Amino acid sequence: MAKADAARSFTKEITPKSEDFSQWYIDVVRKAELADYTALKGCMVIKPYGYGLWENIRDALDRRIKDTGHQNAYFPLLVPESLLTKEAEHVEGFAPEVAWVTHGGNDLLEERLAIRPTSEAIICSIYSNWVQSYRDLPILINQWANVVRWEKVTRLFLRTTEFLWQEGHTCHRTEEEAQDETMKMLRVYQEFAETELAMPVIPGRKTENEKFPGAVFTYTIESLMSDGKALQAGTSHNLGQHFSKMFDISFEDEDQQRKFVWQTSWGVSTRLVGGVIMTHGDENGLVLPPRIALIQLVIVPIFRPETKDAVLAKTAEITSSLKSAGIRVHVDDRDYYSPGWKFNQYEMKGVPLRLEIGPKDIEKDQCVLARRDTREKIFTPLPGIEKTASDLLIQIQKDMLEKARKFRDENTRTVADFAEFQKVLEDSRGFIFAPWCGDGPCELKIKELTKATIRCLPLQDNNEIYPAPAGKMCIHCNVPAAHEVYFARSY
Ligand SMILES: [Zn+2]
C-alpha cells in the first residue's frame, strides 16, 4: 500500500460519528490507543496513552482536593458482608452489582467478602474507632482506588466492571458543616470539569429516585455529550447520619453529650475520560483539551536524507525552547512513516497542536502550527515560538470550552407539551428544561415512556434549588409544578 493510501485508511477505520455514534466512540478509544477490551468480560485495559490522560486528570483534581484541606489515604478492597449490609438502603442499592469472595485458597470463608462497589461501609467501620471527641473532627479524607460493580452491559470507560476513581469520605460535627462540605466539593468538581476538561456542566440536585443509596441528598454535575445524551460526570452526597448511626461513629461534644457525626462522600471516575472523548471528539478522532493532554504539541520534522541533519538540529533547538516554556512536547522523527501518516495519527490521538518544520521553513525562519480543534494551519515565525505556542494552547482550551458550551446551550430546549417533549427526545435529544410536579411515580412514568430521566434540579448561586415556578404545570401530569428540571436520556 502506498503511503498516501495508508494515511487515508488510517482515519477510514473510524466509523463516521454522524452514522453510528456508539461505534465511532469505540473506534476512537481503540484507534487512539486509550483502552481496549480484555479476555475478562467488562474489564478494560487502560493503555499508556489513556492512562497518561487519566493521570493528568487525576493530578489536576488531586491538587484541588488537597487545596481544600483533604488528605489521601487507602482503605481495604474487601468488605465483610456484615458491614456492607448494615445500612439497609445502601446494600439494597448495590446488591445486584456486588462481586463476592467466598474462598480463601481452598477454604470456604465463614463470612463472604464483597469487593468494594464503593467504600462507605468499610471506611465507616474504621472511622468509628477514629472518632471519640469533637477534637477528632472534621475528618477530611480522600481515597484514589479501584472499585468493582458487576455490570451487565459495559462500555469502555463509561461503564466497566472494574474502574478507577476517587472517593472522598468526610465526618463533621454539625449538619450545616456537612452540607457546606457537600456543596464545596460539588463546586470543586464543576470548576475542575470546566477548567481542565473544557466540559461545561450543570450543577444540581438529584431527585429521590436518582440519589445515591443511603444519602440524604445527592448533588451532581451533568454534562451534555455531542450525541445529545447526558453524562453524570461527578457526584457529591450529603449522607446525614444514616451511616454514622449504623456504624456508631459518635463523639463527645463540648457539652459532654454523645452525638453522631454528619457525613459526606463524593467521587469522580475514569468515566470522565469517556466524557472528554464524547464532548470534544470529531470525525477525525480524539480532540484533547491542552491542560490534560499527555502530548500538548507534537513536532513532525519533514526531511529527505540530504536535509535530515539540518532539520533535526533545528527541531532539537525548537524542542528545548518549547520545553523550557513548560509545554509537553513529543518529537516524531521516525523515518519509516511519512509525514502524512503521522499527521493523521496525531489527529486521531487528539494532540492539540502539531508543529511541522522542513528545509524551506528553516530558510524562512518559520514553521507551521496546526490546531487540532479547528484544523487551522498557521505559518509562525520561529523566534518567540514558545510564547506563540503557549498562548495558542491557552486559546484552544478556552475555545473548546466555549464550543462545548454553545453546543450545550443550543441543545437545551423548552417544550410546549408532552407530545413535543417526546418528539424532541426522538428527533434531537439534548436537555429539556421543563416543569415537573415533584412526584416520584410521575418521574418514573416519564422515564418509562421516553427513556429520559431527570438529570437534576438546578442550583442557584447560593446552592439552594429554585423555588416552585409560579403558574407552571408538570410537563407530564399537568398538576402545578414544584420545580423546573433538566431531563435527558443519559449514559
Ligand atoms: Zn407530574
pLDDT tens track for 326-335: 999 999 999 9
Give the model's pLDDT for residue 282: 96
CB 359 within 8 A of CB 310: yes
> What is the average per-residue pLDDT within 332-355?
97
Rounded to the nearest angstrom, the distance between the alpha carbon of 456 and the centre of ligand 1 is 15
For 24, the grid coordinates are 465511532
* pLDDT higher than threshold 80 for residue 91: yes
Rounded to the nearest angstrom, the distance between the alpha carbon of 388 and the centre of ligand 1 is 55
Rounded to the nearest angstrom, the distance between the alpha carbon of 469 and the centre of ligand 1 is 14
Give the model's pLDDT for residue 11: 53
Distance (Å, whole) CA 295 – CA 153? 32
Rounded to the nearest angstrom, the distance between the alpha carbon of 114 and the centre of ligand 1 is 39
* pLDDT higher than threshold 90 for residue 86: no
Would you give the DSSP letter of residue 353?
A: E
Give the model's pLDDT for residue 93: 86
Rounded to the nearest angstrom, the distance between the alpha carbon of 441 and the centre of ligand 1 is 8
Q: Which pLDDT tens digit goes with each residue over 43-73?
A: 999 999 999 999 999 999 999 999 999 999 9
Distance (Å, whole) CA 326 – CA 53? 17
Distance (Å, whole) CA 447 – CA 426? 13
For 400, the grid coordinates are 473548546
Rounded to the nearest angstrom, the distance between the alpha carbon of 311 and the centre of ligand 1 is 68
Q: Is this model's pTM higher than 0.85 or not?
A: yes
CB 468 within 8 A of CB 462: no
Q: Which pLDDT tens digit goes with each residue over 179-218?
A: 999 999 999 999 999 999 999 999 999 999 999 988 999 9
Give the model's pLDDT for residue 90: 81
Residue of 133, 130, 123, 129 lying closest to 87 (CA atoms): 123
> What is the average per-residue pLDDT within 416-440?
96
Going across the sheet that includes 431-436, the strands are: 71-72, 139-148, 162-172, 262-269, 230-240, 217-224, 202-205, 453-458, 483-488, 431-436, 412-413
Distance (Å, whole) CA 31 – CA 349? 8
* pLDDT higher than threshold 80 for residue 444: yes
Rounded to the nearest angstrom, the distance between the alpha carbon of 491 and the centre of ligand 1 is 23
Rounded to the nearest angstrom, the distance between the alpha carbon of 452 and the centre of ligand 1 is 14
The pLDDT confidence band at residue 318, using thresholds 50, 70 and 90, is very high
Rounded to the nearest angstrom, the distance between the alpha carbon of 219 and the centre of ligand 1 is 21
Q: Which pLDDT tens digit goes with each residue over 26-38?
A: 999 999 999 999 9
Rounded to the nearest angstrom, the distance between the alpha carbon of 475 and the centre of ligand 1 is 7
Give the model's pLDDT for residue 251: 98
Q: Which pLDDT tens digit goes with each residue over 233-252?
A: 999 999 999 999 999 999 99
> What is the average per-residue pLDDT within 115-126?
95
Rounded to the nearest angstrom, the distance between the alpha carbon of 474 and the centre of ligand 1 is 5
Rounded to the nearest angstrom, the distance between the alpha carbon of 238 and the centre of ligand 1 is 26
Would you give the DSSP letter of residue 272?
A: H
Rounded to the nearest angstrom, the distance between the alpha carbon of 438 and the centre of ligand 1 is 7
Question: Residues 6 or more apart from 409 whose CB is under 8 A from it?
Answer: none
> What is the average per-residue pLDDT within 360-384?
97
CB 488 within 8 A of CB 224: yes
> What is the average per-residue pLDDT within 272-298?
98
How many helices (H) and strands (E) in the chain?
A: 15, 23
Alpha-helical segments (H) within 269-307: 271-280
Give the model's pLDDT for residue 416: 94
* pLDDT higher than threshold 90 for residue 150: yes
Residue of 201, 229, 164 lying closest to 22 (CA atoms): 229
Rounded to the nearest angstrom, the distance between the alpha carbon of 235 and the centre of ligand 1 is 25
